[in-house]
């Protein structure tokens, strides 16, 4: 049995255009005068995707104050989820090299690797860096394993090293949203005055 309900609410609509990127942010919220504080729903339809999140309570503060305090990691993590970050090949390789050069113990299927083997793996990492690292984690492992020359399982060693020392960074999509859409939006909200790059609409009754 289906059920459809329609309610009319006052939703703030913010249209943003900045550096060739554009989008619309919708803010729906309740008053913060009650004991539990208000809730806040944010939906964004921009050139960096369609995202949204609902906060059950934002405490005794306005939604403007609440969003102005949001950090990049916190906000992007809620809006984009797993898409907020991506594999960072350069940082991962540097992490592997730092660990190996500092004497980090790694093993193969037949036991602990020798000093000579570790030296060869370091050389393999440096060779991979010189040819340019793949931005894909799977291809990164394949690339690294192709440079390792041991009697052990090169693929397994490359995979273990990559998984153990994986580093991530903010994805291009999430970072673009933060820089090109969120920055002018939050500036407008903070200043509460019109900007040439943004317009604020209210639904007509």
Does position 37 have pLDDT exceeding 80, yes or no? no
For 91-106, how does the pLDDT look when each residue is reduced to its tens digit (9 = 90+)?
999 999 998 888 776 6
Alpha-carbon distance 171 to 146, whole Å?
Answer: 27
Average pLDDT, the chain: 84
User: Using 50, 70 and 90 to split pLDDT, how confident is the model at 61?
Assistant: confident
Does position 203 have pLDDT exceeding 60, yes or no? no
Alpha-carbon distance 141 to 153, whole Å?
Answer: 13
């Amino acid at each position: 049995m289906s059920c459809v309900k329609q309610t009319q609410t006052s939703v703030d609509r913010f249209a943003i255009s900045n550096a060739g990127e554009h989008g619309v942010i919708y803010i729906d919220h309740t008053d913060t005068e009650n004991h539990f504080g208000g809730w806040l729903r944010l939906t964004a339809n921009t050139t960096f995707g369609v995202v949204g999140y609902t906060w059950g309570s934002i405490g005794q503060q306005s939604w403007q104050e609440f969003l102005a305090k949001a950090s990049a990691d916190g906000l992007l993590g809620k809006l984009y989820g797993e898409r907020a970050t991506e594999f960072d090949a350069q940082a991962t390789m540097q992490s592997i090299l730092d660990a190996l050069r500092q004497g980090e113990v790694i093993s193969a299927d037949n036991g602990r690797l020798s000093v000579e083997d570790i030296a060869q793996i370091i050389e393999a990492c440096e060779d991979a860096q010189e040819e340019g690292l793949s931005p894909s984690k799977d291809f990164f492992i394949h690339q690294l394993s192709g440079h390792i020359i041991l009697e052990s399982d090169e693929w397994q060693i490359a995979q273990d090293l990559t998984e153990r020392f994986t580093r991530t960074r903010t994805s291009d999509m999430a970072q673009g949203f933060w820089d090109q859409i969120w920055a002018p939006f939050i500036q407008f909200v903070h200043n509460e005055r019109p900007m040439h790059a943004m317009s604020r609409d209210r639904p007509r009754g």
